[in-house]
Amino acid sequence: MVIFVDVDVNEIARLGRDFPWRKPSSCPKCNISFWWHGFIPAYFDHLSQAVFLRRLRCPRCGAVHRLRPKAYWSRFRSTIQVINQTIDRFLNRDWRSDSPGSRQRLWWRRFCAKAKLRIGFGWEYFPDAFDLLISWGQIPVSSTI
């Protein structure tokens, strides 16, 4: 499971394994304290090298959890804000010049498919479709329906 925490990726990159991670209180299933369980590399858009994110393990159930900066969804290298801005630009028939076009088009296709499925006919007239999907617990640009 991924546990989202309020941390700055740039600080993690700067301090490496010395970054002072705060341990979440306890395993949600067993309600006992986690043990640290090493690091896992993760890649983010603006950083040329991997940063090492902390992992935790529950000593009772053995579940392994990963800590992840809350500015990012799982499996995305761009911040939620950047993705949101990209979709906004596409809605205005524009695109970002600072990000690969193929990735922007992929997000746009996924967003359209998800909005069509979840919101239905006329979704494009919802100016806040992106936020609406998030409020329903969806990642607007993920491939999973």
Which residues lie near Zn ion (CB under 5 A)? 27, 29-30, 58, 60-61
- Of residues 61 and 117, the one with the C-beta less far from Zn ion: 61
Residue closer to Zn ion (CB basis): 40 or 64: 64
Residues 17, 52 contacting (CB under 8 angstroms): yes
Question: Closest separation between CB of residue 34 and Zn ion, Å?
Answer: 8
Cα angle for residues 53, 41, 9 (degrees, 5° grid): 50
- How many whole angstroms separate alpha carbon 28 and alpha carbon 19? 24
Closer of 57 and 70 to Zn ion (Cβ) = 57
CA distance 139 to 117: 13
Kindly tell me which of 33 and 85 has the beta carbon lying closer to Zn ion.
Answer: 33
What token pair was written down for 125? 């007239």
CB of 101 to Zn ion, least distance (A): 43
To Zn ion, the closest distance from the beta carbon of 59 in angstroms equals: 8
The answer to whether 22 and 41 have CB atoms below 8 angstroms apart is: no
Query: How near is the Cβ of 37 to Zn ion at its closest, in Å?
Result: 12
